[in-house]
A = this chain, B = another copy of it.
Amino acid sequence: MNKKQAWKLYKEYRDNLAVYQLALTTAYFDKETIAPLAGNAYRNSKLAKLSGVLFSLETDPKAIENIKYLAKETKNKLIKREIALANKNLAAISTFSKEETMEWELLCAESFDAWYQAKNQADYSLFAPYLNKLINGSIERAKRRRPEMIPYDVVLDDFEEGLNIETYDRFFNLIKKELLPLIQRVKEKEEAVDDSFLYAYYPLAKQEQFSEILLDYLGFDKKWGYLGISEHPFTSGFSRNDVRITTSYDEHNIASSIFSIIHEVGHAYYEHQVDGKYDDLLIRSQISSGMHESQSRFLENYIGKRYAFWTKLYPKLQALFPENLANVTQEQFVRAINASRPSLIRTEADELTYPIHILIRYELEKELFNGELDLNELSTLWNQKYQTYLGISAQNDRDGILQDIHWSSAAFGYFPTYALGSAVAAQLFNKLNTELAVDELLAKGQFKQLEKWLKAKVQHDGALLPLNEVLLRATGENFNPEYYIHYLKKKYEELYQL
């Protein structure tokens, strides 16, 4: 065996795993978008078995031996990184048996179903028993995997390598210190921005028409992309040339679907623009959560909420909804979509209050992983935190504790990467502004130029570099959350004339 043969063997291994990954990706996308509910029990049990097969192949002793060999022998940068990702992956799964893996997958699938039902009925008690199993299971799994570490640190590292409670505490403390007072000041001048027209009646069919216009403007090509509908918007990369996004529509909130689409298109471009040489490798599929989120938040907020972004689009939106927008100027519209106001739903939150939604989830997850919380109290606690930080609380569990999908698949430690991604995006945006005339390009509808920039700076290399190195290469600096704070302060002080 030489290094070349070992690498070839490794690629065959990944190619083989990708067969099962595509099957599972397809099945989960189907489940979250259109699958009839009565088929869930059958589907869940079969898919858990398929996950078991994938597990067996992934943890095949011969493959692991080959990975060890490559880890020791290779000097090639690409292979080194790929093997590091493979080892991280293996470390996360190989502690468990195939049976444990299948049981866990089944529990996650059933928990998703319970969450879906609970959310539809706005009844947290239907989901609580599942959440209990997921939390306890996640803690136990973290302990078994990395007994030397605090369990919550284990899952934080899963989603963003190298990050832990200490780093996130520092990050969120900065956010609390700098943004909470600003949110308060904005709140006191709430009337400075009128966004009431965003919440008029916008019929679904016309919103769908606008989605097509928007996708077209964003260069989201139906040859390689698809837009579906789901309870919770998400992006799913089937392959580089098959990227699916979803949205959900609210007939009394025109901004909701628009910005969820722009957000998911940001994710979609990352999946689509990764270099083809990484197909089937973890460098393509294991992109860091923070980096991925930086690209979606980048489009959603730093680009999609600019005045120039709407120069070509707004007349088309107006034409579709003259009854609501005929007397609203582009400037008024753009002020409205940037309005900041404490609100209940994270995915619809404005840029300024958004990280507070994440902060709340981060604090709750930390406590949940400490075993300090009674799950029966979680809904109440959720609302207390919203009251403390944002001065509001949910009237029902659908708008509170049940709003997000993530806990239903045991994705604890994932939320913090959303705030991280927002901050990364700020740093990238600062750099972009020194290299391209952003508003000029947008006003001319040359959105593609921005995607080219993101491709070159971030996306084409997939997960070849960890988050901080991507930033170093793209901006010449380490990750620095001050860009985020500065951006938000400047933007909202101007908007609200503070």
Contacts and interface: CB of A to CB of B under 8 A. Distances in A.
B19 A228 contact: no
Given A46-B18, A46-B22, A224 B39 contact: yes
A23 B205 CA distance: 32
B223 A36 contact: yes
A50 interface: yes
Contact of A242 (B26, B43, B222, B240): B43
Contacts of A120: none
Given A19-B50, A23-B27, A239-B43, A36 B222 contact: yes
B30 A240 contact: no
A459 to B, nearest CB: 17
A1 interface: no
Contacts of A439: none
A386 B243 CA distance: 43
Given A26-B27, A27-B26, A30-B30, A19 B46 contact: yes
Contacts of A241: 36, 38-39, 41-42
A224 B26 contact: no
A47 B243 CA distance: 17
Contacts of A53: 19
B36 A226 contact: yes
Contact of A38 (B22, B38, B47, B242): B242
Contacts of A34: 226, 228
Given A26-B30, A49-B16, A42 B279 contact: yes
A437 interface: no
A23 B26 CA distance: 8
16 contacts: A19-B49, A22-B43, A23-B46, A26-B27, A26-B30, A35-B238, A35-B242, A36-B223, A36-B226, A36-B242, A37-B223, A39-B238, A39-B241, A39-B242, A42-B240, A205-B205
Interface of A: 16, 18-20, 22-24, 26-27, 29-30, 34-39, 41-43, 46-47, 49-50, 53, 205, 222-226, 228, 238-243, 279
